A and B are shown apart, each in its own frame.
Chain A
């Protein structure tokens, strides 16, 4: 009897695998980890009979280096806007012209013609956010809408501040704090930036990515962080609030593009169009907890995201946001030197 069950199980397994192989198509997406709603992918798979495979990367540079070598086998990728001009100039994207796709009308006005991809010839919005601060307001009651939390740490927070070690984000924040412009090559500003960072570091407890868990557990009382992450922290502990630094903060977005060496071009185009449908974008936001640049998608987001102060930028702070952009190589070199000196 046992043996028969065993044979049945094997047969079932075989049938299942051939079933997969017989799906009408495949789609290989290369994306940031923990960033794609499984529910939404299931919907796409069912709708178009396509088997979707998602592979994770952890940084823009990793994704760029891997795809640039060729033969990656991926069809789509989701780089940040400051990297998109690099991808385009190196000829890694396929010109799919999402600006002419059926669902393009749903893309919010301000995201229809971005500087990094004029006329939306290659990319579709995936998610967008802000680099700001998170503070546990049980520990610190003062003003949290300032980079001073990180760079002139108040006494209550000394030794409890974390800084997310994204080199460009941290140095840009210090540049804005010192009244400079993002990606500046101005050495007088950069000297102040270096001094600000070196002076601030003794007050930091760590430079780590894992803020959601450690803010929750009290290992950190404040951190530099992304707004979507801040939102998840507040759901766990209402005292944790997101600060919009009044000195200026960086707006970033990640955008979905098709690779030039993609094997499943038609499916990839279908997926780009699919992502501009408010229902799908809203479902995805419910998973990654960021805004998505598709008008009308908030209807399809979970109730707790509507009116959330992390996702909907308050009018008073909207003006000081600056778009994330690619720094020229010589500025990047200066940033790297300051960063190395900071962590030596």
Chain B
């Protein structure tokens, strides 16, 4: 008996070892290609800036202090870095609003696809992924062509005589949001569809049989069941939106900085790589906090239902 147990245990150990060995290349790539550069960024954030870009190999906390505090250049007083705070807030707000809007548009879209006959679903999904074939920059410029003063919409409205002067749509907050929602929508629809596909529509029918209103069915049956999809989609949209700066600067006119622009400035004309590195790490920390909040919410939901 004990012998048999020993053999099984040895067999299991061998299996575990084999699995580790097989995943070793992947782990190495993750370690070298993902963690390595991050460590360099972390290291740079604790060095002094070189006079014309690059870093000097002197330990310094100026980069990190610069993220949160600023010395007024005119009266020399120290205060909270209000410029950085307002840029952070702008990026976070934009990401939040983008996430909410993509959810509002993406949810009915995913529901629509999931309720089509099985044969046509693939076609609909395929159509959702078509924009992914084109580069982000080109998609953004396409929107620009549609909404600019001599663009498609203004052209049609002017020709039809509905307006006398072109409506200023480009370079507004509305333009930025339209672009962001358009660009990130597939990232919301795909995970939502994945969980809706698994949804047992007999439960929905049962809800109706018991005289639930459509809104109640949505709130009590559909949303709780597709919650993992909602969470996954929101994460997938929120995180890249935080770092987005191409879309806001092309459609918004680039008058106000996003986090991405602020970081880029430090590595370019600002010539302050340590500050840029510290800002990048700060951005990552925000993303991690956001992830933790999501994950914890998801976890507690799961246990309640389990």
Residue of A nearest to B172 (CB): A205
Chain A proximity mask over B261-305: 1 for CB below 8 Å, otherwise 0 = 110011111111000000000000000000000000000000000
> What is the distance, in angstroms, from A67's C-beta to the closest C-beta of chain B?
11
From 226 to 261 in chain B, residues with beta carbon under 8 angstroms from any chain A beta carbon are 249, 253-257, 261
User: Which residues from B are CB-within-8-Å of A337?
Assistant: 70, 73
A207 to B267, CA, bound (A): 19
User: Which residues from A are CB-within-8-Å of B150?
Assistant: 217-219
A207 touching B255, Cβ below 8 Å: yes
A204 to B267, CA, bound (A): 26
The dominant DSSP class at the B interface is loop
Q: Among the listed stretches A1-9, A18-26, A56-64, A278-286, which one makes contact with chain B, having 4 or more residues with CB under 8 Å of it?
A: A56-64
A68 within 8 A of B: yes
From 126 to 179 in chain B, residues with beta carbon under 8 angstroms from any chain A beta carbon are 148-150, 168, 170-171
B197 within 8 A of A: no
User: Which residues from A are CB-within-8-Å of B249?
Assistant: 208
B257 touching A340, Cβ below 8 Å: yes
A97 within 8 A of B: no
User: Which residues from A are CB-within-8-Å of B267?
Assistant: 61, 65
A166 to B170, CA, bound (A): 22
B170 touching A219, Cβ below 8 Å: yes
Residue in A65, A159, A166 with the greatest tally of chain B CB atoms within 10 Å: A65
B268 touching A62, Cβ below 8 Å: yes
B171 touching A187, Cβ below 8 Å: no
A59 touching B86, Cβ below 8 Å: no
Whether A61 touches B255, Cβ cut-off 8 Å, given contacts A219-B170, A334-B73, A340-B262, is no
The dominant DSSP class at the A interface is helix
A264 to B54, CA, bound (A): 27
Q: Which one of A65, A86, A191 contacts B74 once the chains associate, using CB atoms below 8 Å?
A: A191
Q: Which one of A187, A217, A336 contacts B149 once the chains associate, using CB atoms below 8 Å?
A: A217
A219 touching B148, Cβ below 8 Å: yes
User: Which residues from A are CB-within-8-Å of B148?
Assistant: 217, 219
> What is the distance, in angstroms, from B258's C-beta to the closest C-beta of chain A?
10
B53 within 8 A of A: yes
User: Which residues from B are CB-within-8-Å of A218?
Assistant: 149-150
A207 touching B253, Cβ below 8 Å: yes
Residue of A nearest to B90 (CB): A344
Give the size category of B's interface with A: 20 to 34
User: Which residues from A are CB-within-8-Å of B87?
Assistant: 340, 344
Q: Which one of A65, A207, A332 contacts B254 once the chains associate, using CB atoms below 8 Å?
A: A207
A219 to B149, CA, bound (A): 6
User: Which residues from B are CB-within-8-Å of A201?
Assistant: 255
A333 touching B272, Cβ below 8 Å: yes
A86 touching B83, Cβ below 8 Å: no
A206 within 8 A of B: yes
> What is the distance, in angstroms, from B75's C-beta to the closest C-beta of chain A?
10
Whether A206 touches B269, Cβ cut-off 8 Å, given contacts A61-B53, A329-B51, A341-B83, is no
A65 touching B270, Cβ below 8 Å: no
B52 touching A329, Cβ below 8 Å: yes
B12 within 8 A of A: no
Residue of B nearest to A194 (CB): B74
User: Which residues from B are CB-within-8-Å of A217?
Assistant: 148-150
A328 to B262, CA, bound (A): 21
> What is the distance, in angstroms, from B76's C-beta to the closest C-beta of chain A?
10
Whether A68 touches B54, Cβ cut-off 8 Å, given contacts A167-B269, A191-B74, A329-B271, is yes
A343 within 8 A of B: yes
User: Which residues from A are CB-within-8-Å of B52?
Assistant: 64, 86, 90, 329
From 34 to 69 in chain A, residues with beta carbon under 8 angstroms from any chain B beta carbon are 59, 61-62, 64-65, 68
B13 within 8 A of A: no
A268 within 8 A of B: no
A39 to B246, CA, bound (A): 33
B82 within 8 A of A: yes
> What is the distance, in angstroms, from A80's C-beta to the closest C-beta of chain B?
12
B253 touching A206, Cβ below 8 Å: yes
A340 to B149, CA, bound (A): 29
Residue of A nearest to B252 (CB): A206
Q: Which one of A86, A341, A343 contacts B261 once the chains associate, using CB atoms below 8 Å?
A: A343
A165 to B255, CA, bound (A): 9
A339 within 8 A of B: yes
A190 to B75, CA, bound (A): 12
Q: Which one of A332, A333, A340 contacts B83 once the chains associate, using CB atoms below 8 Å?
A: A340
A340 to B170, CA, bound (A): 23
A337 to B74, CA, bound (A): 11
A343 touching B51, Cβ below 8 Å: no
B74 touching A336, Cβ below 8 Å: no
A168 within 8 A of B: yes
What are 24 of the A-B contact pairs (CB < 8 Å)? Answer: A61-B267, A61-B269, A61-B271, A64-B53, A65-B54, A68-B54, A190-B74, A204-B255, A205-B168, A206-B255, A208-B253, A217-B148, A217-B150, A219-B148, A219-B149, A219-B170, A332-B270, A336-B270, A336-B271, A339-B269, A339-B270, A340-B262, A343-B256, A344-B256
A-B complex: 5 closest residue pairs judged by Cβ atoms: A206-B253, A344-B83, A336-B270, A329-B51, A343-B257
- Name 9 extra pairs, CB < 8 A, besides A59-B269, A61-B267, A205-B171: A64-B53, A65-B267, A68-B53, A162-B253, A165-B254, A218-B150, A332-B269, A337-B73, A339-B270
